[in-house]
Amino acid sequence: MQKPIRHLVINLELPLKFREIAAFRGAIISKIDPSEDLFHQHSDDVDKPYYYRYPSIQYKTLFGKACIVCLKDGVETIHNLFSQSDWNLDINGRKERMMLTNLDLRQYKMQINPEKTYHYKIVNWLALNPKNYIEYQKLTSDADRKKFLVKILTAHILYFARSIKCYFKKDEQINIQFDAPPEEFRRYYKNTCLTTFNADFTSNIPLPLYIGIGKASSRGFGVIYRHCPESSA
């Protein structure tokens, strides 16, 4: 049986645009000891300079303000940031101060519930790697593209589940459905134009709010929001 994990959402009174997330992340990292690798995923091993794991500390902008989302060990490690005496940040030359507006700590258990449907929105989702980008471009119908992206989102959610040591029985399957074909956008990141998607979807498994799904999930991509279809008219 899966043990509950801790899920902490830290909201800051700090205006932040999406394009500033990398600078916000860098400003946070500059304040902590480099050995605290959960903040940055970098390794001292020259042959393996990065830890390829789901990030326990993630940097976001939510509703125009800076936010940090922590899971599992990240909930403890984030204390090393807020124990600092200096709460000032330099974000691309803009001086800001970390001011907490809300801390939301919850226990979370990931379980498939065939009797319930959960509604979510995923924003700035980096679904495609170079290989499946080529395959995606070959598809000509919305139905085929939607089916293709459903498989990828399911795989990304399964990766998240494994990262928190949640495993399902053979007869349990995650059921993901898009409400409509995902909207395709272009985002520039590190001087590279990337294809991202926004989509409303349903699932038979609950997801922690504001976690990142897919590539660059620690940097504000693939954020999960709650979607309320009855209020979306």
Listed residues 39, 74, 108: the one ending a domain:
108
On whether both 128 and 218 belong to a single domain, the answer is yes
- Of 108, 134, 162, the residue that ends a domain is 108
Whether 113 is in a domain gets the answer no
Task: Report the predicted TM-score, pTM, of the whole model to 2 decimal places.
Answer: 0.91
Are 227 and 133 in a shared domain?
yes
Selection from 225, 215, 3 nearest residue 109 by Cα? 3
Q: In this structure, are 41 and 84 located in the same domain?
A: yes
172 part of a folded domain:
yes
Identity of residue 168? F
Torsional sign, CA 146, 147, 153, 156: negative
* pLDDT tens figures, 109-156: 888 988 899 999 999 999 999 899 999 999 999 999 999 999 999 999
What average pLDDT does this structure show over 172-178?
93
pLDDT value at 50 more than 70: no
Determine, yes or no, domain membership for 143: yes
Number of domains in the chain: 2
pLDDT, tens digit, 9 for 90 and up, residues 195-213: 999 999 999 999 999 999 9
149 lies in which domain range? 118-231
**Residue type at 52 in one-letter notation:** Y
Q: What value does the CA radius of gyration of the chain take, rounded to a whole number of Å?
A: 18
End-to-end CA distance of the chain: 40
CATH number for the domain that contains residue 104: 3.30.70
Q: Any residues with CB less than 8 A from the CB of 56 and at least 6 apart, and which?
A: 38, 70, 71, 72, 73, 74, 77
- Domain assignment present for residue 203? The answer is yes
Span 17-44, pLDDT tens digits: 999 999 999 999 999 988 889 998 866 6
On whether residue 72 sits in a domain, the answer given is yes
57 with 127, same domain? no
User: Are 49 and 136 in the same domain?
Assistant: no
- 82 assigned to some structural domain: yes
**Does residue 158 sit in helix, strand or coil?**
helix
Asked if 229 and 119 count as a contact pair (C-beta separation under 8 A), the reply is yes
Does residue 168 lie within any of the structural domains? yes
**Does 94 share its domain with 129?**
no
Instruction: Give the domain-ending residue among 86, 108, 130.
Output: 108
pLDDT band at 3 (very low <50, low <70, confident <90, very high): confident
| Residues 126 and 171 reside in one and the same domain | yes
> Same domain for 30 and 131?
no
Q: How confident is the model at residue 88 (pLDDT cuts 50, 70, 90)?
A: very high
Alpha helices in the chain (DSSP H): 21-29, 73-77, 79-82, 130-138, 142-163
Same domain? 103 vs 125: no
Q: Is the pLDDT of residue 232 over 50?
A: no
102 near 54, Cβ under 8 Å? no
Question: Contact, 181 vs 166, CB < 8 A?
Answer: no
82 and 137 inside one domain: no
Are 59 and 156 members of one domain?
no
Evaluate whether residue 11 is within a structural domain.
yes
Q: State whether 103 and 123 are in the same domain.
A: no
